Amino acid sequence: MLLREKVAIVVGGGQTPGETIGNGRATAIQFAREGATVVVADSDLASAQQTAEMIMAEGHSGSAVEADVRQERDISEMVQQVIDRWQQIDILHNNVGVSIAGGDARIEDITTDAFNLLVEINLRGMVLTSKHVLPHMRRAGSGSIINIASMAAIKPYPLVGYKTTKAAVIALTEQIAATHARYGIRANVILPGLMNTPMAIESRVAANKAREEVIAERDQQVPLGRKMGSAWDVAHAACFLASDKAGYITGVTLPVDGGLSVS
């Protein structure tokens, strides 16, 4: 049990409906399996509750809270609730991210409103959750923050909002790592590659593409086994980074991409 006696918040721990499991939900479940008490935060309370119920059905400790990362008050209240109930926050896992769903577009077509929304959700949200959690981690003299960016941050990607906000998430993570090492706090960022998750697949199927075609096109781009990763691959990486086994690792950008970034 890698995370025994730790309290974790998974922001964006619900998921887009679909046939497979999402990164946030899988990570919340895996944290719980490794012994953590998991608070699942999401703007979609029903979806967060579903994750918490899956955790509890396995006999682990999970609860759900409604929080929209665009609202600083939601974040501060969520953090206070966790502190009131458990007196500690050991792990902050920032999973929230949107692209097409936030109106993302190529630079020629992006609107100010869509770009602002992507910055609010993908980047400012992580700034604000970290802002409110860090004082508690500083007081404890320890903590692990894991941010979810994307391979899109470092590889060519056509849509400007997602590309730039995910690249900024790497910079944010490095800054937290650099400024908080002295407090025993670590910050690392995961870059998922092509994953078989509802977020990635359902939007493309909804755009009138056959599911098998979407999956085959993505699978064949992946060097390792010619197969997309799953949310569990991200969850296992996050568990390691959250745990004391990664106690000397901070400021790291970790691809979970089946070799995409080096091919």
Ligand X SMILES: NC(=O)c1ccc[n+]([C@@H]2O[C@H](COP(=O)([O-])OP(=O)(O)OC[C@H]3O[C@@H](n4cnc5c(N)ncnc54)[C@H](O)[C@@H]3O)[C@@H](O)[C@H]2O)c1
Binding residues vs ligand X (CB under 6 A)? 12, 14-16, 22-24, 42-44, 47, 67-70, 95-98, 121, 148, 150, 192, 194-195, 197-200, 231
Rounded Cα distance between 36 and 85, Å, is 14
Nearer to ligand X, 185 or 189 (CB): 189
Q: How near is the Cβ of 244 to ligand X at its closest, in Å?
A: 25
Comparison of 95 and 250: residue with beta carbon closer to ligand X = 95
Cβ proximity to ligand X: between 27 and 243 the closer is 27
Q: Would you mind telling me the total number of residues written for the chain in this entry?
A: 263
> What whole-number distance in Å separates Cα of residue 121 and Cα of residue 92?
16
CA distance 16 to 125: 18
| Whole-angstrom distance, CA of residue 46 vs CA of residue 14 | 8
Residue nearest to ligand X (CB): 97
Q: How many CB atoms lie within 10 A of CB 25?
A: 28
Total Cβ atoms within 10 A of residue 5: 10
Integer angstrom CA distances of residue 112 from 29, 104, 109, 115, 256:
37, 10, 10, 5, 32
Catalytic residue ranges: 162
Instruction: Quote the least distance from Cβ 78 to ligand X, whole Å.
Output: 10
Q: How far is the CB of 218 from ligand X (least distance, A)?
A: 8
Residue 43 vs 144, nearer CB to ligand X: 43
Tally Cβ neighbours within 10 Å of residue 105: 19
Return the number of the residue (83 or 215) whose C-beta is nearest ligand X: 215
CA distance 168 to 199: 21
Tell me the HSE value of 83 on the side-chain side, using a 13 A CA sphere. 14
Shortest gap between Cβ of 210 and ligand X (angstroms)?
A: 18
Give me the least distance between CB of 43 and ligand X, in Å please: 4
